[in-house]
Structure 1
Amino acid sequence: MAKAVCGVYEIHPERVEKARAALPKEGVLQEAVLLLKALADPTRMRLLLALKAAGELCVCDLALLAGVSVSAVSHQLRLLRQARLVAFRREGKQVYYHLADHHVERLLEGALEHALENT
């Protein structure tokens, strides 16, 4: 397999400027990185996909589905909340989690679609 390396060093100023202008501000970039890091874990991905399928679930339901402890699920949900991927509502003493918004659902669908292309 051939290496993907330029054979000659040449700068293309118009392309570089177009790419530079399209880059988001640093804060937006950091938020996107946080979001992708949160997705980069099989347990968290299972939790998100379960919420996508069911609409909302409590921590106990999610622990059963993911095959991990309630404590481990709570920890993962905290990370997902910090990345604004999930939200919750209280009903008495029970807490139900759901995907934060339709963007998360689309993100999950895109990731799975892309992964399926390689299978």
Structure 2
Amino acid sequence: MLDEETLFIVSQTFKALSDPTRIKILHVLSERQHSVNEIAERLQMLQSTVSHQLRFLKNLRLVKYRREGTTMIYSCDDEHVMSVLKQMIDHARHH
């Protein structure tokens, strides 16, 4: 039987992966670390939208950041989840 904490973490992780914007951000970060501005430019999104989604992903410990002066540099923080995401992308591409 799964305990409540495990169930909550799994459901929140799937919730994070159910949003196309968050999938795009995680996919970009799977390639290498980026600043918010770089992600926004690459995905042609508003910086505020990217920042909001990064905050959500950070709260779930799916991404982490470090500060370089005034710039926040984001990277992936959970290789297990990134592996699942990559597998799902590969699966979708083969259909």
TM-score (norm 2): 0.91
Is 2:59 the counterpart of 1:82? yes
Runs of 4+ more than 3 Å apart: none
Aligned-pair CA distance for 1:105: 2.2
Percentage of pairs with the same residue: 37
Aligned-pair CA distance for 1:79: 0.7
Is 2:34 the counterpart of 1:47? no
Mark the structure with the bigger radius of gyration. Answer: 1
- Structure 2 distance, partners of 1:114, 1:26, is 30
Aligned-pair CA distance for 1:86: 0.4
The alignment's C-alpha RMSD in Å is 1.2
- SS, match of residue 95 in structure 1: strand
* Residue in 2 that maps onto 1:35: 13
1:93 aligned to which of 57, 60, 70? 70
- Structure 2 distance, partners of 1:30, 1:36, is 10
> Any stretches of 5+ residues in structure 1 without a counterpart?
1-22
Counterpart amino acid of 2:4? E
Aligned-pair CA distance for 1:83: 1.5
Q: Which moved more, 1:70-79 or 1:107-116?
A: 107-116
> Any stretches of 5+ residues in structure 2 without a counterpart?
none
Is 2:58 the counterpart of 1:105? no
TM-score (norm 1): 0.74
